[in-house]
Amino acid sequence: MSSQYRQFLKILEKWPLDKNKQGRDIAEHLRSLLPILQQPDRSTTAEQMEHINKQNDALNRLSKNIYFSTYKREHHSTATGLSANQCSQVLSSEFLQYLKEQKD
């Protein structure tokens, strides 16, 4: 098992699936990349491996909230004035489906 694959699995453990965003969740997309890392073929170049390592490092920084911890926020609202929880509710699949039904 490659070191990139093991590192990716550790990242996925920190990134849970969001049931409210089925089909639009980044964790869901990341899990779809597992087969690529699980069985790299012999034609994988050093350049591609370097790209995978950079992606793993970036995902690891995001999953650990390094930038959130480094750059403290003064305000905890968004540009819309909604809280993070309210934004999550507005972006849920159920709410988007409700809006679509109201439009039709």
Is the pTM of the predicted complex or chain greater than 0.85? no
| Domain count across the chain | 2
Domain shared by 68 and 83, yes or no = no
- 28 pLDDT band (50/70/90 cuts)? confident
Domain shared by 68 and 26, yes or no = yes
- 44 pLDDT band (50/70/90 cuts)? low
Cα 89 off chain centre by? 18
Q: What is the pLDDT of residue 52?
A: 79
Domain holding 81, by residue range, is: 77-104
Report the share of the chain in percent with pLDDT over 90: 1
> pLDDT tens digits for 55-92?
889 988 988 888 888 988 777 767 888 887 888 888 88
- 39 pLDDT band (50/70/90 cuts)? low
Domain shared by 18 and 56, yes or no = yes
Domain shared by 8 and 43, yes or no = yes
Domain shared by 21 and 36, yes or no = yes
Domain shared by 65 and 89, yes or no = no
Q: CB pairs under 8 A, 24+ apart, for 86-91?
A: 88/20, 89/20, 91/20, 91/21
Q: What is the pLDDT of residue 42?
A: 63
Domain shared by 82 and 35, yes or no = no
